[in-house]
């Protein structure tokens, strides 16, 4: 098995339950899973770089990424594959050394390009149909990211 050098994840629908929550004042909220966060610590301890990639732009995602000490953060772009390719150049690694977890159509191109790929149990059908994808037992925001991290660390 190729050693994984980079773990990347989408946010909405993977690290969160894909819900959009608003206060009466219109402030947006997201629910993150603490166990997923501990997974990032385990990756750091194993020497694996991390990336969070979302097409949304959100101050709370930036705060979460900072708290998790994520190495790379991309917000507001649908060019997820290009972002990961640039990280690969920076780290002098290939897409065969990248693991990615995503759940929706804007993740398909990246999921099809990396060797290690997974999606939460509640991902959209087109993502679940990707060849060689691991369909996790957990749903997005309910420990799916941590589940994938543990699978990878067992094999790495």
Query: Phi-psi category of 34—alpha, beta or left, where left has phi over 0 and alpha has psi -120 to 50?
Result: alpha
pLDDT, tens only, 86-118:
999 999 999 999 999 999 999 999 999 999 999
Q: Is the dihedral of CA 49, 55, 57, 61 positive or negative?
A: negative
Residue 5 has pLDDT above 90, yes or no: yes
More confident residue, 58 or 6: 6
How far apart CA 28 and CA 60 sit, in angstroms, is: 9
Q: Which of 14-28, 82-96, 112-126, 134-148 has the lowest mean pLDDT?
A: 14-28
Residue 43 has pLDDT above 60, yes or no: yes
User: Helix 59-68 to helix 34-45 angle, to the nearest 10 degrees?
Assistant: 40
User: In this predicted structure, what is the pLDDT of residue 2?
Assistant: 63
Q: Are 72 and 87 in contact (CB under 8 A)?
A: yes
Q: Is the dihedral of CA 51, 57, 62, 65 positive or negative?
A: negative
What whole-number percentage of the chain has pLDDT above 90?
A: 86
Strand partners, 57: none
Number of H helices, E strands in the chain: 6, 8
Average pLDDT on 16-28 reads: 91
- Sketch out the chain's domains with CATH numbers: 6-155 (3.40.50.1000)
pLDDT, tens only, 113-124:
999 999 999 999
């Amino acid at each position: 098995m190729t050693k994984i050098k980079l773990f990347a994840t989408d946010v909405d629908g993977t690290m969160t339950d894909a819900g959009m929550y608003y206060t009466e004042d219109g402030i947006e909220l997201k629910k993150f899973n603490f166990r997923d966060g501990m997974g990032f610590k385990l990756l750091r301890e194993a020497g694996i770089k991390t990336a969070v990639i979302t097409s949304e732009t959100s101050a709370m995602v930036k705060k979460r990424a900072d708290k998790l000490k994520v190495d790379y953060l991309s917000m507001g772009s649908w060019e997820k594959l290009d972002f990961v390719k640039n990280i690969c150049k920076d780290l002098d690694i290939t897409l065969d050394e990248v693991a990615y977890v995503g759940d929706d159509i804007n993740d398909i191109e990246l999921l099809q390009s990396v060797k290690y790929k997974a999606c939460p149990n509640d991902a959209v059908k087109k993502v679940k149909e990707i060849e060689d994808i691991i369909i996790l037992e957990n749903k997005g925001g309910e420990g799916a990211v941590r589940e994938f991290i543990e699978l990878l660390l067992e094999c790495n």
